[in-house]
Amino acid sequence: MRIQDLEVYRAIRSEEDREKNNLLMIASENYASRAVMETQASVLTNKYAEGYPGARYYGGCEYVDEVELLAIDRAKKLFGAEYINVQPHSGSQANMTVFFSFLEHGDLILGMGLQQGGHLTHGSKVSFSGKFFRAISYNLSSKTHRIDYNQVRDLAKKHKPRLIIAGASAYPRIIDFHRFKEIANETGAYLMADIAHIAGLVAVGLHPTPVGEADFITSTTHKTLRGPRGGLILSEKKYGAKLNKGLFPGIQGGPLMHIIASKAVAFGEALKPEFVDYQKQIIVNAKVLAEELTAYGFDLVTGGTDNHMILLDLTKKGITGQDAEKILEKAGIVLNKNSIPFDKKGPMVTSGLRLGTPALTTRGMKENEMKVIAGLIKKVLESPGSQTIINEVSKIVSDLCHSFPIYKYLD
């Protein structure tokens, strides 16, 4: 990068060092490839292209049309969907597009509660989804902490929502989209599947796909899918015209063509056989981490994981999620505090931690490293006040990061 703005340059270099020298275990983060990042830094950032390929409100769109069509074609191949929209700036905008296209102000929606693992845009009072729409939420089973499909069905039958949302930001188990579709059919609701977290797993068949089940599927492109920060909508052809209009001019203006190009590059990467191996390893790593942490006496929400994430219940360990996050970060292990189902503590404190394996797996880490990392987490959390332990663990983290450089993957 050119050193034209020293302050910004320094911040970027520091972030690069942070990403290189820490174990990034935030379940929603990943390392995009250099090709993905370089495409974002291209001249395409200069171009206005309101509209869709072949029907723009600006001249000079021939090359951005090519790029958007490539992104759409590749996403269609990847997910097997009839309709794709690659223009949402984010997952929230993808969700907002569906709401704006198919709901009226004040319509009823039913999604997983935020504290139970749902996303802000699934009906939380602090987001547009809970302010402009009437929102009710389903809880997880108080016994298993898994989705209680009977409860979802009962709520849907009683309240008759216009839209049911399947999907979560903190749920370590398989989501049964078919069950959700049965409930939506029975109660006359649309079904939206938000696959932001699991998109990479869905793309390679390691999580059942909602394509063919949900009316609308929304996602981000930067989590397990490992593309640029952005959003995506999948649907059936019959909903395409409404979704297109709902997105532009409904809720967005000019699409970010440099990001759309970068999505095309990421989808191209995801179509390669290596991507299947990568996704498989994400799950293997999460399972090994889960087993090791369980063996060390940690309680895992639902007792384990089927996907890329683990939710630790720290209640019995006598430490809050907030404190655990801070102490682990001091030792170079970066993850986030997270509410656990029926958490007695508020969202800024929490009783849980969310751990993910997508970024570590991108660095090439495998089962052995997961075993080491589980041991490090145990060590830090068992002696939260000990600087000696933090120093000791930091040294091992640093050695691990050195042995698995991100630039080996990025270059």
Residues that bind ligand DSN (CB under 6 A): 28, 91, 119, 169, 196
Query: Nearest residue by C-beta to ligand DSN?
Result: 28
Tell me, yes or no, if 224 is annotated catalytic.
no
Q: Which structure tokens are listed for 286?
A: 């999460």
Go through 103-117 and write b for each residue having 16 or more CB atoms within 10 A of its CB, e for each that does not.
beeebbbbbbbbbbb
Tell me, yes or no, if 220 is annotated catalytic.
yes
Residue 238's φ and ψ, nearest 5 degrees, are -65, -25
Pick the closer one to ligand DSN by CB: 64 or 283: 283
Tell me, yes or no, if 48 is annotated catalytic.
yes
| Minimum distance from residue 336 beta carbon to ligand DSN (Å) | 7
Tell me, yes or no, if 229 is annotated catalytic.
yes
Q: Which of 29, 48, 77, 280 is catalytic?
A: 48
Q: Which residues contact 66 (CB under 8 A, 6 or more apart)?
A: none
Q: Which of 56, 153, 181, 223 is catalytic?
A: 223
3-state secondary structure of 108: strand
| Minimum distance from residue 229 beta carbon to ligand DSN (Å) | 10
Q: Which structure tokens are listed for 344?
A: 């007695």
CA atoms of 198 and 284, how far apart (whole Å): 15
| Minimum distance from residue 217 beta carbon to ligand DSN (Å) | 15
Q: Which of 194, 213, 215, 306 is catalytic?
A: 194
Q: Which of 19, 29, 50, 329 is catalytic?
A: 50
Q: Which of 76, 229, 242, 280 is catalytic?
A: 229
Residue 140's φ and ψ, nearest 5 degrees, are -80, 165
CA atoms of 24 and 33, how far apart (whole Å): 16
| Minimum distance from residue 124 beta carbon to ligand DSN (Å) | 12
Name the CA radius of gyration of the chain, rounded. Answer: 21
Tell me, yes or no, if 378 is annotated catalytic.
no
Pick the closer one to ligand DSN by CB: 67 or 324: 324
Pick the closer one to ligand DSN by CB: 131 or 157: 131
- On whether the CB atoms of residues 226 and 31 are closer than 8 A, the answer is yes
| Minimum distance from residue 92 beta carbon to ligand DSN (Å) | 7
Pick the closer one to ligand DSN by CB: 155 or 333: 333
Element (H, E) at 52: strand 51-52
Tell me the residue length of the chain.
411
Pick the closer one to ligand DSN by CB: 122 or 162: 122
- Can you tell me which residue has the tokens 């016994």? 143
Tell me, yes or no, if 223 is annotated catalytic.
yes
Which residues are part of the catalytic machinery? 48, 50, 194, 220, 223, 229
